[in-house]
Chain A
Amino acid sequence: MKASLRQSMAWLHTWSGLLLGWLLVAIFITGTSAYFRDEISFWMAPELHQSVASEAAPRLAWEQLNTTAPNARNWLIGLPDERHPVVELRWQPDTPEAQENRRRRGERAEMDASTGEILEPRASRGGDFLYRFHFELYGVPRIWSRWLVCVATMFMLVAIVSGVITHKKIFKDFFTFRPGKGQRSWLDAHNATAVLALPFHFMITYSGLLIFMIMLMPWGINAAYEDGWRGFFAEVFPREEQTTGAGAPAAMIDDIQPLVARAEATFGQPVRYIEVEWPNRDNALIRVSTAKEATITDRRRGGAPSLSFDGVSGRLLKTDPGTHPSDGVAVRIYNLFVNLHLARFADPATRWLFFVFGVVGSAMACTGMLLWVAKRTQQLRGKAPGFNLRLVNGLNMASITGLLAAMAVYFAANRLLPAALEGRESWEIRAFLLAWLATLIHALWRPHRRGWLEQLAALAALWLAVPVIDLATTDSHLFSAIAWRHGALAAFDLVCLGMAAGAGYAFWRVAGHTPARKPARAARPRRAATGDTP
C-alpha cells in the first residue's frame, strides 16, 4: 500500500471506528449513565423515596437488628447519606451454610431512616443493569462479552491515536465549527468533541484497558501471587478477618447513639458504617467508622477512621485514625486511572462534570459514525445509496437513537410493570431489549432521513413520557422532588426532559434541513418517497 502515514492512519481510524463504533456508542452511553448508577437505582425504587435521613437512624437500625437478627455472626449498618437516604442493614446468620460462604453477602434489608419501617422496594436491577451492560453487555457469557468489550476498548485506543495523527490542523482548527456544510460540519463536530476532551477520551480508554487487564488477563497476577486472585485481592483490599469464635450470650448496650456521637466528635465527620462482630455475645465488638477521606491514588476499601468499642460495656477499645497504606508507584498510578474512570471520589458537582465528559465522549463516537455516512452520501452526488451505506445508516440509527429509546423504555417499564410481577427485574430488562430490537428492525427497514425523523420523534416522546408516567404512578414525581429538595430525584426527571428536548431539537433540525444547501443530499428524501419502502 503506497500511502503516507497520515493516509494509512486515516484508513485505520475510519475502519476501526466503523467496525466497533456501534458497540463503542453503546459502551459510552451506558457508561455515562453509570456515573449515576446509585441515583438511577434509587429512582427505580420509589418505595424508598419516603425515607429521609435522620438523627435517629442509628438507634432505629440498632433496634431493628436486635429484633430481626439478634444472634447473627455480624451486622453491618450503612447509615443514610446524600446519595442514598435509606439505612442499609446487612447481617450474616451464624449457621453452617453461612460459614461456608463467608465471602457472600448474607442477608440484607432496607429501612426507612426516620420511621424505622422495613421498606420493600420493587424488584429491579436499577442502574446496575446499565452499569453491567457497559462492560459485559447482557445475555452473553461474561467471559466472551468482556473480551468483546475489551477488544472494542483496544480499538478505541487505536482510533484515538490514529485520529490524532490523521487530524491535520489540531491547533489551527481548535475552535473551528462550520455549521450547515454537510460532511464538513460533521467532521468539525467530531473534531471538536474529540480534541477538546482528548485527555478524557484517552484516560477513559486507557483506564478501561487497565481494568480489563486485571479482569481478563490474570496471568501476571497468577505468577506473582501464589494463590492468584485471592492473594492479589488480599493485598489490594485487605480485610480484617474474624478470628475469634462466638462468645457466651450477653446483652449489648441499649443505645448506640452515644458511640456514634463520640466518633463524630473525634473525627469531625459523619459516621457512615456501624459494624458489629458477634452481636449479643460477651465478646461483641462494635466498630463505628466515618467516611474515608477520598484520595485519588488510593482505592482500598478499608482504612476509614474508626472507633472500636466493647459491645457489652460500651468501653472504647481502640481509636484508628484511618490509614493510607503507602503503595508503590505502579499501584498508585493504577489506582489513579481506575478512580478517574469510576469517579469514585466524586462529590455531586464533580460527578456531574464526569457525566458531561461521558456525554461529550458519546457525542464524539456518534458524530464519527454519522460522518462516515455523510461523507459517502455526499460522494454519491444524488445517486441512490447502495446496500452497504443503507446498512451502516440503519445500524447507526439503532445504536444511537435506538439505544437511547430503549433506555427510556427501561425506565418507563420500571414504573408501569406491576410490583408483584414474577421475575419483575427480568421483565424490565426484556422491555429494554425488545424496544431496542424494535428500533433495529425499524432502522433497517427505513435506513434514511424519514427513518431518522421517526426515531427522533419516538425518542422525544418516550423521554417525555418517563417523567409524565412518574407523575401519574408515584408520589415522588418531579414536583414533589423539587418541593422536598430531593436533588437526585428531581435531576433524574429533569434529565429525562432534557433528553426529550434534545431529541425534539434534533428532529426539528433534521426536518428543517434544506436540500438547496446540500445538493448531494437532496436525493435522499425523494428516493425515500418513491423508492425502497414497501
Chain B
Amino acid sequence: MTLLPLTWTLGYAGLTALALAMKRHHEAMLGSKASEARLRGFRVLGWALLATMTAGCLMVWPTGLALWMAFGMVAFAGLPLVFLLPYRPRLAARLALGLPVIAAVFGLMPG
C-alpha cells in the first residue's frame, strides 16, 4: 500500500496537466496565454501521467479491481483539483509538481 499515495499524486498531476491543456485553466494557473503546441504538449503529458497512474493501480490492486480503481482515482484526484482551482490556481499547479516528488521520496524510501 505504500504505492497508493504515489499513485494518487500521479493521478492528480495527470489531471492538472489535462487542465493545463485547456486555455481557460492554463491562463488561470500559469498566468500566460499558451500556444497550441504547448497545449498539445500538456495533453500528451496528462494522458501519459494517467497511464502511469493506471500502472500504479495495477501494482497496488489485483487486475480487475485495479482497472476499476483507476477510474476511481480520477474522482479522488480530480475533486480536490476542481475545488482548489478557482481559489488557488497557482498552488494547484505547484502541487502537481510537488506532491508526486514528496510521495515518491516517502513511498520508495527503504524501510
Contact = CB atoms under 8 A, between A and B. Distances in A.
B65 A296 contact: yes
B87 to A, nearest CB: 7
A200 B82 contact: no
A176 B25 CA distance: 9
Interface stretch (A45-53, A70-78, A230-238, A350-358): A350-358
Contacts of A200: 71-72, 75
A359 to B, nearest CB: 10
A193 interface: yes
A192 B65 CA distance: 24
Contact of A192 (B18, B25, B64, B82): B82
B65 A350 contact: yes
Given A296-B62, A357-B75, A176 B82 contact: yes
A177 B83 contact: yes
Contacts of B85: 175, 177
A457 interface: no
Contacts of B64: 296-297, 336
B82 A360 contact: no
A196 B78 contact: yes
B87 A179 contact: yes
Interface in B63-95: 64-65, 68-69, 71-72, 74-76, 78-79, 81-83, 85-87
A196 B75 contact: yes
Given A175-B22, A179-B87, A197 B62 contact: no
Interface string A281-313: 000000000000011110000000000000000
B72 A347 contact: no
Given A296-B62, A296-B64, A350-B61, A178 B72 contact: no
A441 interface: no
B14 to A, nearest CB: 12
A177 B81 CA distance: 10
A83 B35 CA distance: 54
Among B15, B25, B83, residue most surrounded by chain A Cβ atoms (within 10 Å): B83
A340 B68 contact: yes
A356 B1 CA distance: 17
Nearest to B28: A175
Contacts of B74: 196
Interface in A158-203: 172, 174-179, 192-193, 196-197, 199-200, 203
Contacts of B22: 172, 175
A192 B61 contact: no
A295 B4 CA distance: 20
A258 to B, nearest CB: 33
Contacts of B4: 349
A200 B76 CA distance: 11
B72 A353 contact: yes
A203 B81 CA distance: 23
Given A179-B86, A297-B64, A350-B65, A357 B72 contact: yes
A427 interface: no
Interface of B: 1, 4, 15, 18-19, 22, 24-25, 61-62, 64-65, 68-69, 71-72, 74-76, 78-79, 81-83, 85-87
Given A296-B65, A350-B69, A356-B76, 13 more contacts: A172-B22, A174-B18, A175-B18, A177-B82, A178-B86, A179-B87, A192-B78, A192-B82, A199-B71, A203-B68, A296-B62, A347-B1, A353-B76
24 contacts: A174-B19, A174-B78, A175-B15, A175-B18, A175-B19, A175-B25, A175-B78, A175-B82, A179-B86, A193-B79, A196-B78, A196-B79, A197-B72, A197-B79, A199-B68, A200-B75, A295-B62, A340-B68, A347-B1, A349-B1, A353-B72, A353-B76, A356-B76, A357-B72
